[in-house]
Amino acid sequence: MLIETDILVIGAGPAGSSAAKHAALNGSEVILIDKKSEIGAPKRCAEGVSKEGLKKLKIEPSSRWVTKELSGVLMKAPNGTSVWLNEEKVKLPEAGYILERKVFDKHMAMDAARAGAKIMVKTLATGLERKDDSLIVTAETMGEEFKIKAKIVIGADGPESRVGRWAGLKTTIKPKNMESCAQFEMAGVKMDDPDSIEFHFGSVAPGGYAWLFPKGDDIANVGLGILTTETDKSAYQHLLEFVENCPATQNAQPVELNIGGDPVGGMLKELVTDNFMIVGDAASQVNPLTGGGIISAMEAGLYAGQVAAQAIRDDDCSKAKLKKYQERCEENIGKKFKRDLKVKEYLLSLSDEELNSIAEAFQDIELENINTAELIKNLIKVSPKALLKLGKLF
Amino acid sequence: MIVNEWCMYCGECAAVCPRSLIEVRENSLIFNEGCKECRICLKVCPVQALEKEEDSELS
Ligand SMILES: Cc1cc2nc3c(=O)[nH]c(=O)nc-3n(C[C@H](O)[C@H](O)[C@H](O)COP(=O)(O)OP(=O)(O)OC[C@H]3O[C@@H](n4cnc5c(N)ncnc54)[C@H](O)[C@@H]3O)c2cc1C
Ligand code: SF4
Ligand code: SF4
């Protein structure tokens, strides 16, 4: 069996559904496939998104998939000293809302369907070959093999991306750029402030951080990411230790275990080739500092869908034509990532003692009207190496 | 490679394999030929679900 289409999107996560939706809205014939039987499940995510991010994408928050609206961030140093920031003082990254991803992902796919995309679930892409001016993808569903011929293939197949590698892009992630994550969704969590997300830094999560993201009532995603180059224990072992020692989880019980890799090395350099584009985690479009990738995946999906549809209309699917997508990603996503990567490198260079003294210094500072320059000035007082690592950025 | 029963098919191992040998299906993992025994996949797994055949023979 051979199916023909303008655009084939592989993977129906936030990146793929957004790309499929915008390609369809712009007049292309689109097929969206996912290997899962249930789009969105199991989740590999702490489910935080910024309000600003959704707004920029013109997605109205829905009570079907928003579990909690947040107003602050609590950052904890290894000795328990906390610095609390609320929404009036700072823009909350990756954390204005906590989603129910299993529902959110499905709804984003439904939006793609409503825009005109055809969706196939439980359909795995197993190979890709080039033929004349199109790509032929081999796929499998319920034991049956078939082929899909597309003028453009969009690889949105998550961190494990094979599709990108088939097309000749370098998507392999180095272990030093891959946060290995483990998370429990728990009930019975007693947070200091149930309206704030919590981050815990230091040796609880070597090379990363631990988080508590409240989902309403006494429910929270409690997880952490580590770099396996920085520790001999697995993410799961670190999680068990964290949950055992964290005051908030003393009486909490898990109802779900989630694991996965989060690519935090910054966006891939090459995002396109002839007839092919890569989006989302597959392209490492994850904020290297926060590990958040939902909004950037969808933003990149929007650009990919629009550029692909334009290429179809102009009957030119060459690399040069699709490069417009890469340019838009570099301008709107990549630039910020480069700066955040530097901040992350500085953060990861700090010992538990340094983190404690920074938190102690910032605990008492009036953050009300402080600007970034002043913030850095104060930081340099307690942590002189901040000047070296961050001075040029601000 | 031995894939233990507690593997959750999250795909992190596949993302880091320098030779792209690991295929993640919804409920199974396939290792293609050509493994260079670098053990990167074993090390990144969040739940230590992978084992080398020779390691399990030793223990
Ligand atoms: C523990 C953890 C916590 C996180 N927390 C946050 C957070 O709080 N906020 C945030 O913004 N981001 C977070 N992230 C990152 C976020 O989850 C990802 O950036 C986001 O899911 C990326 O979306 P995507 O569409 O690129 O990939 P995915 O959501 O991974 O979707 C890829 C899809 O492709 C499908 N697929 C793969 N291969 C094939 C194939 N061969 N054939 C067919 N289908 C295929 C998969 O089944 C999957 O549905 C977290 C990540 C982890 C691991
Ligand atoms: S990283 Fe571990 S749990 Fe995830 S797919 Fe690989 S072996 Fe399975
Ligand atoms: S040991 Fe190395 S080459 Fe072999 S499957 Fe694992 S990561 Fe790939």
Which of A263, A287, A315 is the last residue in one of the domains?
Answer: A263
pLDDT of residue B48: 98
Check whether residue A235 and residue A298 sit in a common domain: no
Asked if A239 and A184 count as a contact pair (C-beta separation under 8 A), the reply is: yes
Q: Which residues pair with A5 in a beta bridge?
A: A150
- Answer whether B12 sits within 8 Å of A174, measured CB to CB: no
Q: Which pLDDT score is estimated for A233?
A: 98
Place of tokens 């040998």: B21
Structure token digits, residue A298: 């969808």
pLDDT of residue A368: 59
Alpha-carbon dihedral sign for residues A190, A191, A192, A194: negative
Provide the number of structural domains found in chain A: 3
Residue in A39, A237, A259, A262 to test binding to B, most B beta-carbons within 10 Å: A259
Length of chain A: 394
> Which atom of ligand 2 lies at the shortest distance from residue B9's CA?
5
The CATH number given to B2-58 is 3.30.70.20
Strand partners, A69: A97
Radius of gyration of chain A (CA): 21
Tell me, using a 6 A CB cutoff, whether residue B15 lines ligand 2: no
> How many other C-beta atoms lie within 10 A of the C-beta of residue A265?
17
On whether both A166 and A106 belong to a single domain, the answer is yes
Please indicate, yes or no, if residue A56 is contained in any of the structural domains. Answer: no
The gap from C-alpha A76 to its chain's centroid, in whole angstroms, comes to: 22
Shared-domain flag, residues A110 and A236: no
Note whether A278 and A313 are same-domain residues. yes
CA dihedral for A343, A345, A348, A351, sign (positive or negative): negative
For the CA of B13, the nearest atom of ligand 3? 7
The SS3 call for residue A284 is coil
Q: What is chain B's Cα-based Rg?
A: 11
> Does residue A165 share a domain with residue A108?
yes
Whether residue A109 sits in one domain with residue A202: no
Question: Helix A294-313 vs helix A14-25: angle between axes, to the nearest 10 degrees?
Answer: 30
Residue A213 and residue A82 share a domain? yes
- Distance, in Å, from the CA atom of A339 to the CA atom of B27, rounded to the nearest integer, reads 38
Q: Residue A91's pLDDT is what?
A: 64
| Cα A133 to Cα A392: distance, rounded to the nearest angstrom | 46
Q: Tokens for A118, please give them.
A: 């055809």
- Co-location of A306 and A316 in the same domain: yes
Residue among A171, A163, A349, A200 at smallest CA distance from A265: A171
What is the β-pairing status of strands A144-155 and A276-278? parallel
Q: Is residue A124 part of a domain?
A: yes
B10-38 pLDDT per residue, tens: 999 999 999 999 999 999 999 999 999 99
pLDDT in tens, chain A (394 residues): 899 999 999 999 999 999 999 999 999 999 999 999 999 999 999 999 999 999 999 999 999 999 999 988 999 999 999 988 877 766 666 669 999 999 999 999 999 999 999 999 999 999 999 999 999 999 999 999 999 999 999 999 999 999 999 999 999 999 999 999 999 999 999 999 999 999 999 999 999 999 999 999 999 999 999 999 999 999 999 999 999 999 999 999 999 999 999 999 999 999 999 999 999 999 999 999 999 999 999 999 999 999 999 999 999 999 999 999 999 999 999 999 999 999 999 999 999 999 999 999 888 666 655 566 677 777 888 888 887 777 666 5
**B23 ligand 2 Cβ < 6 A:** no
- The answer to whether A238 and A205 are in contact (CB under 8 A) is yes
Separation in Å, CA A282 to CA A49, A138, A231: 19, 19, 25
Structure tokens at A16: 């793929």
Contact A271, A329 (CB under 8 A): yes
CATH at A241: 3.30.9.10
Q: What is the pLDDT of residue A218?
A: 98
- What does the pLDDT read at residue A371? 62
pLDDT of residue A90: 65
Identity of the amino acid at A230: E
Query: What are A27's two structure tokens?
Result: 């007049």
Using CA coordinates, name the residue in chain A closest to B48: A234
Backbone dihedral region for residue B11 (phi beyond 0: left; psi -120 to 50: alpha; all else: beta): left
Tokens representing A3? 């199916």
The DSSP secondary structure of B1-59, one letter per residue, reads: -EE-TT-----HHHHH-TT--EEE-SS-EEEPS------HHHHH-TT--EE-HHHHHH-
Listed by start position, the domains of chain B span 2-58
Q: Which two tokens stand for residue A24?
A: 């369809």
ipTM, 2 decimals? 0.95
- Chain B: closest CA distance from residue A226 (Å): 9
Residues A155 and A253 in one domain: no
- The DSSP letter of residue A365 is S
What sign results for the dihedral spanned by CA atoms A33, A37, A43, A47?
positive
Measured in Å, residue A15 CA sits from the centre of ligand 1 at 8
Average pLDDT, chain B: 93
- DSSP structure class, residue A37: S
Structure tokens at A252: 């909490």
Q: Rounded to an integer, what distance in angstroms lies between the CA atom of residue B27 and that of residue B30?
A: 10
In 10 A of CB A372, how many CB atoms?
A: 10
pLDDT of A211: 98
Same-domain status, A167 and A289: yes
> How far apart are alpha carbons A287 and A295 in whole angstroms?
10
What predicted TM-score, i.e. pTM, was given to this entire model? 0.96
Beta-sheet strands, E only, within A66-175: 66-69, 72-76, 82-86, 97-99, 118-120, 123-131, 134-141, 144-155
Residue numbers of the domain that contains A85: 67-98+178-263
CATH code, domain with A31? 3.50.50.60
How many CB atoms sit inside 10 A of residue A140's CB?
Answer: 16
Across the interface, of A174, A234, A263, the residue whose CB is closest to B45 is A234
Nearest to B16 among A37, A175, A181 (CB): A175
